[in-house]
Structure formats: structure tokens, C-alpha cells
Amino acid sequence: MVGLLARTLSTDVREEVIHRFAEPPKLSLFEEDKYGVLRHARVSRVRRLSRRYLLAELELLEQFEDPPGPAQFVMIWLPGIDYIPMSIANSDEGRIHIFFSVRGEGTRALANSKGKMVGVVGPLGKPLAVSARSKYVLIAGGTGLAPIIKLARGLSDMGLLAAVIWGTRAREDVGEVPFYFKEVTGCNLTICTEDCSVGFCGRAADLAEEVLPDLENTQVVAAGPNDMLITVADLSMRVGIDPVLILESMVECGLGVCGRCVLGSTGLRLCRDGPAFRASEVMDYLVDVALRRGQKH
């Protein structure tokens, strides 16, 4: 792969690539499988949208075989540092946007990676199928907004978007996020803050509680922390909607091999069967996880 890339790059960049990609993650098992191909990308820009949220723009030096669909993700290899799963917030020919917050070594490295080369595997997971017969209400918490941005863009283009609700902690976390959202989707974001400093006073799930009982012929899609997903699923099911939940979980290989992302007794693999699931498929798993977390505290 390095040889192929080297023919298209200047000497300086080529040396950098060869040096940095001397030890790529062990993906040789998938060399013949487009699903597991490691592509080279340059982090062309990192924007701080607010105190908590950042946006990394990655320029792919080798194109994806198929354009990413809603809810799909990539594995980003930061040479010598980490190999992390990240949702695709937006994509245009040759570019992907990653909306994230710094949570560990990998995301810290991504935040400081402007101008650097990284490896990208993807798009991974199943694209979320959209029904043209319904309107959609999208609900996100924190970095759960990432897959919702991409979905909202597609739905907005199809005229199917009813509302997008996003919850975060405080005004300082909001910053330019709604402007970025509008830039990509052409739509407005309904903001909720836990400290009541801007927008709706409360969590995204609290606003969902007010909105969902009035919905008819509507699809609900939610992405965010487990407790928010459980609340949204519970509220939706009470009004006869089986919502789609986009899960965040421990993903290690992203390729369906290691078994790290298996969702308990469902046997479903988040990375290959998801990350979007009907609530009826994964509700027991989510409640189990919440109970186990509660026992630990």
C-alpha cells in the first residue's frame, strides 16, 4: 500500500508516509477485503467549536470504495499512539468530518494532529436505512451528535426532517456547534443544557418527554449516553414507536473479528451489525449495562 501511495506523492511527503506507516495495525487478514483496507489521510484542519467539542477534517489520499452512509464510522489509526473508532459527522468527496471531544490519549492526539498523516479504515458498520414514508425526530446527547449530523443532512435533503434535539452540559459547550450543524444540514438545532444556561432547561431526554407523546407517524433516532437512550426508547415505545438507537460501545478491531463489541446475550456485534439498532433488539442489553454500572458506584 505504501508503494502505491508513494507514486503519487512528493519526496518529502512520501518519506513522511513511509516513516509513519512503517508499522500499520495488523490488517493483513483483510488485504483482499475492501472492508478492512487502511487508507492514508491527512488531517487538514482541527476546529474548536466550543470548550468541549472539536471538529477534525480529514483529507483522504485514497478514496473510499463507497460513500459513507448514515451512522457508519471509521477506525482512525494515529501512528504510535492509538487506533480509535469515530463516527462520521459529514463527508464529501475525499473528505470526512469527525466531531469529537477529548476523552483519552487517542482523541487528544487527534485534537493535536493538524497537518499530520493518519490511517483510516472504513466506512464501517451498516448504514442506517431511511424510510421515505415518515418524518424523523433526531435526539442526541454530547458527542452522540456526530452520527446525527450526517443523518440530518440526508433527511433534510429528502424533506423528512421534523426536529433535531441536542443536549449538552452548559452554554460554554454549545459555542459554534449549532452554526456548524446549520452549515452542514441547512437546519436548526434545538439546544438543551443541563445547567439551564441556554436553550431548553434540562437534558435532551427531558425535552423528548415533552415532544414524543404528540408524535404520529414519526421515526425517532437517538444517539448518546446509555441512560439517555434508555429514556428515549422507553418514552417512544409508550407511544408505539420502536426507535433506532445508535450505540457507542467498546470497539477494538471495528471489523467484526475480536468480539469486543458483542452486545451481551443478543450476540450482535456493534461494529458489524450496528451501530444502529432498533430499541426492541438492544433494550435488555442497555438496561443490563446500566444496572451493572449502578452496582459499581
Which residue lies nearer to ligand FES by CB, 13 or 262?
Answer: 262
Which residue lies nearer to ligand FES by CB, 191 or 282?
Answer: 282
Using CB under 6 A, pick the residue from 160, 256, 266, 281 that binds ligand FES: 256
Strand pairing partners for 286? none
Please report how close the Cβ of residue 186 comes to ligand FES at its closest, in angstroms: 34
Does 276 participate in binding ligand FES (rule CB under 6 A)?
Answer: no
275 prior amide bond cis, ω within 30: yes
Does 269 participate in binding ligand FES (rule CB under 6 A)?
Answer: yes
CA distance 248 to 234: 18
CA distance 34 to 27: 11
Which of the ranges 102-110, 176-184, 259-267, 287-295 carries the binding residues for ligand FES, by CB under 6 A?
259-267
Q: Is 263 exposed, middle or buried (0-12, 13-18, 19+ CB in 10 A)?
A: buried
What is the rounded radius of gyration, in angstroms, for the C-alpha atoms of the chain? 19
Does 259 participate in binding ligand FES (rule CB under 6 A)?
Answer: yes
For strands 276-278 and 244-246, give the pairing.
antiparallel
Using CB under 6 A, pick the residue from 252, 266, 281, 290 that binds ligand FES: 252
Which residue lies nearer to ligand FES by CB, 9 or 268?
Answer: 268
Does 260 participate in binding ligand FES (rule CB under 6 A)?
Answer: yes
Please report how close the Cβ of residue 262 comes to ligand FES at its closest, in angstroms: 7
CA distance 115 to 80: 16
Which residue lies nearer to ligand FES by CB, 154 or 256?
Answer: 256
Which of the ranges 87-95, 125-133, 136-144, 265-273 carries the binding residues for ligand FES, by CB under 6 A?
265-273
Which residue lies nearer to ligand FES by CB, 71 or 138?
Answer: 71
Which of the ranges 15-23, 204-212, 214-222, 250-258 carries the binding residues for ligand FES, by CB under 6 A?
250-258
Please report how close the Cβ of residue 255 comes to ligand FES at its closest, in angstroms: 6
Which residue lies nearer to ligand FES by CB, 74 or 165?
Answer: 74
Which of the ranges 58-66, 192-200, 204-212, 252-260 carries the binding residues for ligand FES, by CB under 6 A?
252-260
Where does this chain bind ligand FES (CB under 6 A)? 251-254, 256-261, 269-271
